A = this chain, B = another copy of it.
């Protein structure tokens, strides 16, 4: 995440992760979520804050979730179900439940299947926001498995050469255990930048680099500047010459594996038309579609040797001599791991404005203010 999108220390209040988790859980309960589910959702949200992924933490997402629950767009007590199943796979109908809560349950299914067959993959239709995708992928780590999570959301990103959005920011997350080293954790939007981060950039008045967004006619804006009032988000790669067909293509893969493979449709699906009759009513536009997977390491190779090699390799990557102007080479998940160390010790920095929202909502919902 770009530093410029982070809250400045002088605008921040440091709060304890445990207190934040309790408060988030209490808020979710008040909007109708059962206590066990509320705790699950709070853990996913606060994990994002701990890891420095503010775009997917409480300040950026909780208000949106509360609005979704109170407006009926998110189902607080979903009767989610497995609608199709094989030894290594399952398809889940989320019944409008929030991904940060149903994701861990789907991942449990994937892990259980991987224990039996070596692999597990669960696609999820009729879902809602998945939060930080790597949270779900990381659930595989303690089982000595590789975890994968993808999520397909509403159309907000241009295809290469296009002037109308057709794909979501569709992130891909992969988590891999190591031995002594922190786990490898990749979590990337297939757009140049996550939509949530542009929201934060606007709130903080940050300058965005060239190549992040396009004019409303689809022409990439290649000069840095403030976020325009109206813009279209570019796929990762920005322009065809720089490889935007790759970002566009990866977004398509996420759309296929999460949306079309789950029977959950696609982002720009017309509400009423098309041939895919059974999937109407929870078209891509209305909800999010997801995929989680687990790969058992033991199924492929010796786990101890795998972890030793991961350590050796991660250390080797970190030891790469840096190019001029750079201090060090990082590995995926390292900045987030370092943020977590710091935030566990010093607390999570929340913008004063977010603190104000927590104060207001604690009065409104009559729950104790804990921060």
Contact = CB atoms under 8 A, between A and B. Distances in A.
Contact of A166 (B2, B120, B302, B316): B316
Interface residues of A, number: 96
Interface string A247-274: 0111011011100111101101100001
Nearest to A86: B118
B266 A313 contact: yes
A84 B299 contact: yes
A305 B266 CA distance: 13
B117 A300 contact: no
Interface stretch (A22-30, A48-56, A156-164): A156-164
Q: Chain A interface secondary structure, helix, strand, loop or mixed?
A: loop
A368 B329 CA distance: 53
A306 interface: yes
Given A161-B330, A306-B261, A322 B218 contact: yes
Contacts of A245: 188, 330, 332
Nearest to A186: B249
Contacts of A209: 241-242
Interface string A310-323: 11110011001111
A138 interface: no
Interface of A: 2, 84, 86-89, 91, 116-121, 123, 146, 158-164, 166, 174, 176, 184, 186, 188, 192-193, 209, 211, 214, 217-219, 236-238, 241-243, 245-246, 248-250, 252-253, 255-257, 260-263, 265-266, 268-269, 274-279, 295-297, 299-302, 305-306, 308-313, 316-317, 320-332
Given A119-B120, A261-B306, 11 more contacts: A119-B119, A161-B320, A174-B253, A188-B246, A255-B313, A260-B309, A261-B297, A266-B313, A268-B316, A274-B309, A276-B308
